[in-house]
Structure 1
Amino acid sequence: MDFDKLTEVIRKLSLEAGDIIMDIYNSDDFDVRSKSDDSPVTAADEAADAHISAGLRAAFPDVALVTEEQAESHSVTANTFLIVDPLDGTKEFIHRRGDFTVNIAYVHDGVPLRGVVYAPAKGRLFYTNATGDSVEEVGELDKNTVGTTVPISVSAPDKTGLMVVASKSHRDQATDDYINKYAVNDMKSAGSSLKFCLVATGEADLYPRVGRTMEWDTAAGHAVLSGAGGHVVRFDDHTPLTYGKEGFANPFFIAYAPGIDLKLP
Structure 2
Amino acid sequence: MTPPSSTLRAADQIAYLDQAAASDPGRQYKQQLLTALDLRPGHVVLDVGCGPGTDLPALANAVGDRGAVIGIDHDPAMLEQAQQRTAAHTHVTVRAGDAHALPLDDASIDRARTDRVLQHLTDPRQALAELRRVVRPGGLVALAEPDWDTLAIDAADTATSRAYTRYVTSKVVRNAAIGRQLGRLLNDVGFEVASIQATVAMFHDYQAADAILRMPAVAQRAWQSGALDENAARTWLTSLTNGPFLAAFTFFTAIGRVPTTNS
TM-score by length of structure 2 reads 0.26
The higher-RCO structure (CA 8 Å, 6+ apart) is 2
Q: When the two structures are superposed, what TM-score results if normalisation uses the length of structure 1? A: 0.26
